[in-house]
Amino acid sequence: MRGRLLYAGSFDPITSGHFDLIKRASKMTPELIIGVLDNQSKTPYYSVEERCDMIRLATEEFENIKIDSFSGLLADYVKKEGFEAVIRGLRATMDFEYEIQMAQMNAHLLDHEVETIFLMTSPDYSFLSSSLVKEVFKLGGNVEEFVPKSVYDYMVKNRK
Ligand code: PNS
């Protein structure tokens, strides 16, 4: 791909599954933007600044990755920034219904000019989600192997 790609999500927090996808997507484009949703109506566990900080720590080694946040419609953000395509991860079968709805709605909102590209999540992480990681972590379980090392250290240091 010649243009910039957007990998959008809540990343509350970034998991090893997200990180694996970021690594793979970064090879497909000159510039990968990780767009963190700043949703005013939903209260995330980590603030948008904390989520961006954790992604920054995890992706320090990559030269073609930028971290940004957005609010409002993803389609408006894509139009404003001129991304070539949007990347999303798919885990086994469970994400399909929701993802196809979003992809089709975004295609409609973007006049079918921007594609959503799906990368299959690595089977090593197909059971992982940010919600599960948060739940296990909050209840004192060990999530060390489910998030990048630097993110784990951040979570422990900033335990709420
Ligand atoms: O990591 P998530 O929570 O699955 O990511 C979902 C995200 C951020 C991609 C989606 O909720 C989104 O695009 N939100 C912005 C608002 C919007 O555009 N909604 C209509 C989607 S068709």
pLDDT tens by residue, 131-158: 999 999 999 999 999 999 999 999 999 9
Using pLDDT thresholds of 50, 70 and 90, give the confidence band for residue 92.
Answer: confident
Q: Does the beta carbon of 8 lie inside 6 Å of ligand 1?
A: yes
Give the pLDDT score at 39. Answer: 84
Query: Please, which residues have CB within 8 angstroms of residue 25's CB and are 6 or more apart in sequence?
Result: 5, 7, 32, 87, 119
Q: Does the beta carbon of 10 lie inside 6 Å of ligand 1?
A: yes
Which helix (H) or strand (E) segment holds residue 119: the answer is strand 115-120
| Percentage of residues of the chain with pLDDT beyond 70 | 100
Using pLDDT thresholds of 50, 70 and 90, give the confidence band for residue 115.
Answer: very high
Phi/psi region, residue 82 (left: phi>0; alpha: psi -120 to 50; beta: rest), is left
- pTM for the full predicted model: 0.97
Q: Does the beta carbon of 34 lie inside 6 Å of ligand 1?
A: no
Distance 69 CA to ligand 1 centre (A): 12
Q: Is 41 exposed, middle or buried (0-12, 13-18, 19+ CB in 10 A)?
A: exposed
First to last CA, the chain: 41
